[in-house]
Amino acid sequence: MSQPHDLFHLWVYLAASPLLWLTVTIGVYLLAQRLSALSGYNPLVNPVLISIVTIVLLLLGTHTDYRVYFAGAQFVHFTLGPATVALGVPLYRNRHLVRQAALPILAALLVGAPTAMLSAVWIASALGAPLPLKLALIPKSVTAGIAMGIARQIGGDPTLTAVFVISTGIIGAIAVTPLMNALGIRDYAARGFAAGLASHGIGTARAFQVSDVAGAFAGLAMALNGLMTAVVAPLILALIHP
Residue 4 vs 65, nearer CB to another protein: 65
CA distance 188 to 215: 9
What is the smallest separation between the CB atom of 87 and another protein, expressed in angstroms?
6
- C-beta of 44: minimal distance to another protein in Å? 14
Kindly identify the residues of this chain, within the stretch 151-180, that bind another protein according to CB under 8 A. 159-160, 162-172, 175-176, 179-180
Pick out residues in 31-90 that bind another protein (CB under 8 A).
33, 47-48, 51-52, 55-56, 59-60, 66, 69-70, 73-74, 76-77, 79-90
# binding residues, another protein (CB under 8 A): 106
Q: Residue 156: CB partners within 8 Å, gap ≥ 6?
A: 132, 135, 136, 138, 139, 150
CB distance 217 to 102 below 8 Å: no
Whether 161 contacts 142, CB under 8 Å: no
Stretch that binds another protein, among 8-16, 37-45, 196-204 (CB under 8 A): 196-204
Please answer whether residues 120 and 138 qualify as being in contact, where contact means their C-beta atoms are separated by less than 8 angstroms: yes
Residue list 103-122, contact with another protein (CB under 8 A)? 103-105, 107-108, 111-112, 115-116, 119-121
- Residues 238, 239, 241, 242, CA torsion sign: positive
